[in-house]
Amino acid sequence: MRNKNFIIIMTVIVSALCLYYLSFSFVARGVQKDAEAYATDAQGNVNHDKQQTYLDSIWKEPVYNFLGAEYTYQEVKENELGLGLDLRGGMHVVLEVSPVEIIRSLSGNSKDPNFLKALARAQEMQKNSQEKFTTLFAEAYREVEPDGRLSRIFSNTANRGKISFESSNAEVINVIDQEVDDAIERSFNILRTRIDKFGVNQPNIQRLKGSGRIQIELPGIDNPDRVRKLLQGMANLEFWEVWTPEEFSPYFSQLSEHLDKEEKAGRLNIGRTSAQSTPAAGDTKPSAAADDVLAQAAATTNDTAAAANDTTALASADQAKTDTADALQSLQEEQMGVMGRLFTMMPGGIGANTRDTARINDIFQRPDVRAIFPPNMKFLWGVKPIKGDNRQEFVEFYAIKKGRDGKAPMTGEAVNDARQDFDQNGRPEINMTMTPAGAKRWAKLTGDNVGRQVAIVLDNYVYSAPVVQGEITGGNSSITGNFTIEEAKDLANILKAGKMPAPTRIVEEAIVGPSLGQEAINQGLLSTLAGLLVVVIFMIAYYRTGGFIANLALVFNVFFILGILAQFNAALTLPGIAGIVLTLGMAVDANVLIFERMREEAAKGLSLRDVINKGYDKAFLTILDANATTFLAGFILYFFGSGPVKGFAITMMLGIVTSFFTSVFISRLLIERNFKRAGKLSFSTSFTDKLFANVQFDVMKWKKPAYIFSFAVITFGMVAMAIKGPNLGVDFKGGRSYVVQFDDAVPASDVRGALLDNFEEEGTEVKTFGASNRLKVITSYLADDESTTADEQVKSALLQGLEEYKNLNPEILSSSKVGATMADDIQKTAVISLVLALAGIFIYVMFRFSNWQFSLGGVIALLHDAIMIIAIFAILDLFGISYEMDQIFIAAVLTIIGFSINDTVVIFDRVREYMNDNPRLHVSEIINPALVHTFSRTIITSFTVFMVVLVLFIFGGEILRGFSLAMMIGILFGVYSTLFIASPIVVDTMKKKPAPSPAPAKPAAQAQKA
């Protein structure tokens, strides 16, 4: 074996890395067990609040030492193998930033009839297009008003400096494009901050490329209504005056005395905190007030007075910082007892350890504490934590001065624009311009607060609190400080948050209850273990020692998959488990190919050493081609899929790579080591040697019956679908679905009848879901209304309909929603992914086999398999066996495409080999021997995968049942189409060579010998 040492080194390195990353998961589970033991009373009841308090107390504490490197519990949790929402419960949301509202706002809410017609027309066009909305809007405007100029609508005060009356339509669209992208990025940053402050463990938020959508996953959420309001609420940008330390320190001294008395009286127990650790000055983030300087910029080039004021203001900034530091030092000396333990001095203000913020909030909300402070004083936290000693994090605490009416002196509506720029020294800064009305309020606010801080507050968190050095009368300002470019861009986006509405709406939502999550974990583990057991038993029974070695390689395969998932911080989902189970079956394919090749070489009388070498060498390219085509299908699934489909695709692609490595290289290492030690190797039994020895059949003889059978089944399926309609899932047609559990079994038809009056239409389906006392309710009631109000209205209608079953305690275990536009996009991407998968496989096969006939036969067979699955689902639905066609169903179809072409490529590879050995023979003379020689591999692999998927169908749970059924149908028809569709098409389309000379029928003779 070539490169043997390299393979050994790679195996050791990958194994060590997998062990390292998986170790975090074991440590995390150990800590959680300790927390549970700590919170369990003598009766065995777990106090979850006490358990969470324990975990919070060690969040920043080292809990794991790996070769001298210490990791806190937070770092351990960040590196563990996470579980998807379907396994631990939580909420999945896809939000869409509305470009329509952004365009309306940029136009100054123009009432121009052609503008409004173009917007409406673009919304219609979007339903059947993948183009950006701004592109469709430009096209629609040209259609409505061919000679119209968009600058006439968009050249207003808000867009001054970016759009003029002379701007071309293309220039206007470019500006709109940029504003829409900025709004999406702004919404993303705001949502990310809100989620960070929400207190969810391991949240996931990401922009979906190529769309204005943001995907959010929140594990463990038990208050979905609060989350919806949090995610869809408009950004609230405000500018507040700030109390100086000299002004608020007397009140803090009173509070300190008050709390110390309570503690001595035993009415207060603060305990020890980490507030005494001081944050390092060098770690101060730019959100710290003392590091920011707000300076007036000249409104015009000849405004020399303004420029002079700007210079003076910058020069006086250091003195302001020194005065503040002296006052803070005095305040710190006064604070003793409870206040001294809760608060610490920070560069430019006071603050506290992030672990103590909740405790401080509780104290400051008490009526007796509020009575100590003036009614116009409120307190807000800074948004960014500052790193201190011993991995502690601190956050600043601001005393905000309220106006007479309790409202902010100025809001984000006054901001016209904000952008990141560079100052005269090349340092990042933010340039901010005000609207005409805003400039007047800004001049008053800055004029009243010279030498003081003005806090920039978004959603009640202080993003920056710069010191004003002079009255700003021009409406143009710059904020400078120790910013990075990214931080300056973020702050500029925050300042623009109040300028223009960028409302978000939930276009897809799924809520999974914790009980369903635990059930999914149990089903996933059971199906994985059962699938592994099936493969292990079969391989040993069929291939003896060779099968045992293949099983060892299979264990390495699963180990590598889990370890690499942990390395990339990927979450393991229920479809991901399905991917692992499927990989177990497909990983057998490479070993079967190798062992069958070895058996062929052994039949020729070669030595065992030559049998091993030739078996692996001849199978290598076949395995590579087969895995490449399946990987291509997985990549397309990943690129176009979302949510659970993407999780399945990641696991499947990873499984293909690891199974190739373990089957081709690790198994060979193990086989050669076994052969070297024992001097022999068995990879068959007397039964398996004879099992496929006398197989003979003529493919071309059965092609017409096969064509007729396929046509009949597909036609019947299409008729069935026309009669009853396709059973599309919510993610393909839009609407809402709920999983409801009762104490006892309830007839689905009775529940549907009870719900129809409340849902006000017939678009409602109720069916049993996994158990007789569990139902799935699917409704298109208010499907086109994606608002939170509609969500509540539909849920209310559901609960009203279930009122007559209240004695059975109906409980909503999970719910999901897919908006109409999202459903349209999912349908389009499903079709595109299928087409691209077929096109990619066509090109790959044509490239590898240098014949378009092979590509045509393979792709037609794949298309046949996909249509067969759809047809049989429709036929089953006609007879009352109903399974939804959803994204998971499309994943199954694409997987079958990858698996089926795998088998086809193996046969084509053997045909190519025989054609090279017998160049005078036509393919029609070679196809049968090739099929006979590969028949055992086709049956063994398909049987193994079928058994694994059958295990998944039985034990994998209701969510994966439709996927498993589609896979089983696809496997059966994949074998059928490979033999009786793909091969005959190659023969029929490949021209016969004129007058071939007689040649020995070498392959046929080989077939007889085998």
Residue bearing the bigger pLDDT, 449 or 291? 449
* Token pair listed for 42: 């003598």
pLDDT of residue 1008: 38
For residues 85 and 643, give the distance between their C-alpha atoms in angstroms, rounded to a whole number: 10
For residues 915 and 926, give the distance between their C-alpha atoms in angstroms, rounded to a whole number: 7
pLDDT of residue 200: 64
| Contacts within 8 Å (CB) and 24+ apart, 325-332 | 325/290, 327/244, 327/245, 327/246, 327/249, 328/245, 330/245, 330/249, 331/245, 331/249, 331/252
Complete edge-to-edge strand list for the sheet that includes strand 428-434: 415-422, 428-434, 476-480, 293-296, 467-468
* Token pair listed for 246: 């000299």
Among residues 920, 939, 891, 898, which one has the least CA distance to residue 1003? 920
User: What percent of the chain is modeled with pLDDT above 70?
Assistant: 84
- Tens of pLDDT, residue by residue over 127-170, are 666 677 888 888 899 888 888 888 888 888 777 778 888 888 88
Instruction: Say if residue 167 is in the same domain as residue 194.
Output: yes
- Tens of pLDDT, residue by residue over 78-89, are 788 877 777 777
Instruction: Say if residue 481 is in the same domain as residue 560.
Output: no
pLDDT of residue 436: 83
For residues 67 and 80, give the distance between their C-alpha atoms in angstroms, rounded to a whole number: 18
pLDDT band of residue 892 (cuts 50, 70, 90) is: confident
Instruction: Say if residue 363 is in the same domain as residue 414.
Output: yes
The owner of tokens 């349209």 is 824
What's the DSSP call for residue 371? T
Instruction: Say if residue 57 is in the same domain as residue 121.
Output: no
For residues 798 and 791, give the distance between their C-alpha atoms in angstroms, rounded to a whole number: 11
β-pairing, 504-512 with 204-208? unpaired
Question: CA of 613: how far to CAs of 544, 606, 619, 1006, in Å?
Answer: 19, 11, 10, 20
The owner of tokens 């070539």 is 2
Domain at 644, CATH number = 1.20.1640.10
The owner of tokens 């992030």 is 354
Residue partners of 963: CB distance under 8 A and separation at least 6: 575, 578, 888, 889, 891, 892, 952
Q: Which of 788, 818, 848 is the last residue of a domain?
A: 818
For residues 885 and 766, give the distance between their C-alpha atoms in angstroms, rounded to a whole number: 16
* Token pair listed for 482: 């120790």
- Chain-centre distance of CA 427, in angstroms? 36
Interior angle at CA 102, CA 101 and CA 106, nearest 5: 115
Residue bearing the bigger pLDDT, 453 or 572? 453
Express the helix, strand and coil content of the chain in percent, nearest 5 each: 60, 15, 25
Phi-psi region of 681 (alpha: psi -120 to 50; beta: other; left: phi over 0): beta
**426 lies in some domain:** yes
**691 lies in some domain:** no
pLDDT of residue 406: 79
**525 lies in some domain:** yes
For residues 254 and 411, give the distance between their C-alpha atoms in angstroms, rounded to a whole number: 33
pLDDT of residue 516: 66
pLDDT band of residue 298 (cuts 50, 70, 90) is: very low
Phi, psi of 785, rounded to the nearest 5 degrees: -100, 110
> Residue 340 pLDDT more than 60?
yes
Most confident residue range from 257-266, 540-549, 597-606, 859-868: 859-868
**pLDDT average, residue stretch 923-933:** 79
* Token pair listed for 714: 């597909």
> Residue 1007 pLDDT more than 60?
no
Q: Which domain holds residue 58?
A: 4-80
E-only strand ranges, 600-749:
735-741
Most confident residue range from 74-88, 560-574, 712-726, 778-792: 712-726
pLDDT of residue 498: 59
**pLDDT average, residue stretch 93-108:** 82
Instruction: Say if residue 641 is in the same domain as residue 557.
Output: yes
Q: Which of 80, 107, 137 is the last residue of a domain?
A: 80
**502 lies in some domain:** no
> Residue 335 pLDDT more than 60?
no
Instruction: Say if residue 779 is in the same domain as residue 927.
Output: no
- Tens of pLDDT, residue by residue over 752-803, are 888 877 776 656 778 787 777 888 888 877 777 766 677 778 888 888 888 8
β-pairing, 213-219 with 428-434? unpaired
Length of the chain: 1010
Residue bearing the bigger pLDDT, 319 or 721? 721
Among residues 232, 389, 122, which one has the least CA distance to residue 792? 232
Domain at 782, CATH number = 3.30.70.3400
β-pairing, 771-779 with 69-72? unpaired
pTM: 0.67
Instruction: Say if residue 349 is in the same domain as residue 243.
Output: yes
**pLDDT average, residue stretch 813-842:** 76
Instruction: Say if residue 644 is in the same domain as residue 763.
Output: no
**pLDDT average, residue stretch 703-716:** 91
Rg over alpha carbons for the chain, rounded to the nearest Å, is 34
Instruction: Say if residue 355 is in the same domain as residue 415.
Output: yes
Beta bridge partners of 812: 740
For residues 298 and 966, give the distance between their C-alpha atoms in angstroms, rounded to a whole number: 69
**696 lies in some domain:** no
Instruction: Say if residue 432 is in the same domain as residue 289.
Output: yes
Q: Are 279 and 351 in contact (CB under 8 A)?
A: yes
Q: Which of 80, 112, 146 is the last residue of a domain?
A: 80
pLDDT of residue 711: 92
Beta bridge partners of 778: 737, 765
Most confident residue range from 455-464, 820-829, 888-897: 455-464
Instruction: Say if residue 571 is in the same domain as residue 642.
Output: yes
**pLDDT average, residue stretch 855-866:** 87
- Tens of pLDDT, residue by residue over 108-130, are 888 888 888 988 888 888 766 66
Residue partners of 637: CB distance under 8 A and separation at least 6: 645, 646, 648, 649, 652, 833, 891, 894, 895
Phi, psi of 305, rounded to the nearest 5 degrees: -65, -45
- Average pLDDT over the chain reads 77
Provide the H-helix boundaries in 58-108: 73-79, 85-88, 99-106
Residue partners of 672: CB distance under 8 A and separation at least 6: 1, 612
Beta bridge partners of 328: none
The number of folded domains in the chain is 5
**729 lies in some domain:** no
**326 lies in some domain:** yes
**934 lies in some domain:** yes
pLDDT of residue 315: 26
Give the burial class of 361: count Cβ atoms within 10 A of its Cβ; 0-12 exposed, 13-18 middle, 19 or more buried.
exposed
Instruction: Say if residue 967 is in the same domain as residue 868.
Output: yes
